[in-house]
Amino acid sequence: MNPNFETYRLADEHDALREAVRALAEKEIAPHAADVDEQERYPQEALDALVKAGFAAVHVPEAYGGEGADSIATCIVIEEVARVCASSSLIPAVNKLGTMPIILSGSEDLKKKVLGDLAAGNATASYALSEREAGSDAGSMKTRAHRDGDNWVLNGSKCWITNGGVSSWYTVMAVTDPDKGANGISAFVVHKDDPGFVVGPKEKKLGIKGSPTVELYFEDCTIPGDRIIGEPGTGFKTALRTLDHTRPTIGAQAIGIAQGALDAAIDYVKERKQFGKSISDFQGVQFMLADMAMKIEAARHMVYISAARAERGEGNLGFISAAAKCFASDVAMEVTTDAVQLFGGAGYTRDFPVERMMRDAKITQIYEGTNQIQRMVMARALLKG
């Protein structure tokens, strides 16, 4: 055997991308992060900077005017933005989530229309699956869609829509055949200007306050017939395939938040002095830092492996994508909590970023499937063999 150990490393292009995104994030996004959180306002500065640099929707294939970034590259972009501002990292993350069903199952015309819009920097996208009574049990959704001549008409509501009210395009799951259960769900693309589309009030949230989360209402919302994604009844399958591709991006966001907290903690403990010396000299502090870094590194590799497998188009992505999202988000919650502890009383104030990072980390354990659901997905995959 003559193993090529060079194959188990990121490409030089990935390293260069990380440097570029980190530089942009430090200069254009980080200075606004605290204000975005405090004012609960959309990070327009981040959107402008990401669009200008071509990082707002890097996943869009070159055929539609995009950067054509692979899945690992997309995770790196999200990770590096999340390192300074979790709310801003949802711009590239949700652009991928909102358009992945179109990439997987949409018509060529739909891809050109929506993906081209994102690639040009003219629009962002969101994803509408959950309802008040259909969260983890998404198959029990009540939103309906029916044919009306050449059009589709949607009625119902969706909740927890990330970047809702800001996005122009929405991938929406709705029931087209109530008698078929999950096989009666179809996927549609709705535009913010479509008649009958209404944006509800913003949620008042613990974290990611710069990213609006809203309800959407469909009141005889009428869309052209060619805005269905794939064939009728294939929407739920498309939704599940989408999550296999996008759960690693939530893992990437979690890693970024954790890395930002660790970096801040390292800087702080070097400067903070107690008992006549830097608290970084105390073994208890050193062990905490070591554990934080070790867990982040393990999570990062799991996320990149899951992204690489998705990029290769491998089957049976359920286990690894769920594992990456679950492990990374649990790590983010642990690491940010420890970072607040290392800052002591200062960490509990809004003068330092770690309390924001701790609040932001919590959502990564909840959205795109709670970590309890991720463990169910993993267990089913294991039991199937």
Helix (H, G, I), strand (E, B) or coil at 166: coil
Question: Which are the catalytic amino acids?
Answer: 368
Phi, psi of 231 (to 5 degrees): -85, 155
Q: What is the dihedral of CA 190, 193, 197, 201, to 10 degrees?
A: 110
**Structural tokens at position 75:** 């995770």
State the CB neighbour count (10 A cutoff) for residue 377.
Answer: 21
- On whether the CB atoms of residues 99 and 125 are closer than 8 A, the answer is yes
- On whether the CB atoms of residues 103 and 95 are closer than 8 A, the answer is no
CA dist., res. 47 & res. 51, Å (int)? 6
Helix (H, G, I), strand (E, B) or coil at 188: strand
**Structural tokens at position 73:** 């590259």
CA dist., res. 307 & res. 79, Å (int)? 13
DSSP 82-114: HTT-HHHHHHHHHHHHHHHHHHHH--HHHHHHH
- On whether the CB atoms of residues 248 and 303 are closer than 8 A, the answer is yes
Please enumerate in sequence order all residues whose Cβ is within 8 A of that of 202, keeping only pairs 6 or more positions apart, or say none: 40, 165, 212, 213, 214
Residue count (the chain): 385
| CA distances, 307 to each of 86, 90, 237, 310, 325 (Å) | 20, 17, 20, 5, 11
| CA distances, 104 to each of 76, 142, 230 (Å) | 22, 24, 9
